[in-house]
Amino acid sequence: RRLACPPLRAARLSDGSMVVQGMRYSGLEHAIHKLLVWESAAGLALLGLLAVGSLTAARRRLSPLETMVETASAIAEGDLSRRIATARHGSSEVRQLSTALNAMLQQIETALTESERATAQLRHFLADASHELRTPLASVQGYLQLYEKGMLDADDKERALHRVSAEATRMSRLFDEL
């Protein structure tokens, strides 16, 4: 903006005359305008650099969290052996979090492995118990079928009854052991 009146200075000389001195503002206004343009451009450039630097730093600090998300997704898909890599760029809190999650994942994997082993043992035990109980049960059923069809004489009936009783005792002992 141009000033309406340039600054003037007046002085009275000893002979009574006056001397008036003035200065133009156009050069000063141009210099101030140039300075404002340069300061604005420098300020915008610095703001841009600050924004890029902040984004880069934030991405670098958050990259361990992205790794944690990828690892968690892989674990959710069934890869229980995956672990979170130690954060190189993250904060100490992120490193602590990755260490704690890795410990938790190890415990979960160990518990799941132990559970699978226990389930396999239980299946094996049930298969053995089933086999052990089937034998005396088949014997009892066989003797009872012979008895029902009248295929046993008096002596055989006595032996069959004794055998059924022995097998029933054997099954009872197996149940007690279970």
**Which H or E element spans position 127?**
helix 92-148
Buried b (16+ CB within 10 A) or exposed e, 21-34: eeeeeeeeeeeeee
- DSSP annotation string for 64-112: HHHHHHHHHHHHHTT-TT--PPPPSSS-HHHHHHHHHHHHHHHHHHHHH
Residue 128, judged by CB atoms within 10 A of its CB (0-12, 13-18, 19+), counts as: exposed
What's the pLDDT score for residue 3? 46
Cβ proximity of 19 and 11 under 8 Å:
yes
Quick: pLDDT tens for 128-152: 888 888 888 888 888 888 888 888 8
Residues of the chain with pLDDT under 50: 1-3
Cβ proximity of 94 and 87 under 8 Å:
yes
What's the pLDDT score for residue 130? 82
What's the pLDDT score for residue 23? 75
Task: Judge if pTM exceeds 0.85.
Answer: no
What's the pLDDT score for residue 123? 92
What's the pLDDT score for residue 76? 85
What's the pLDDT score for residue 1? 46
What's the pLDDT score for residue 89? 65
Query: Cβ of 136: how many Cβ atoms within 10 Å?
Result: 20
What's the pLDDT score for residue 134? 84
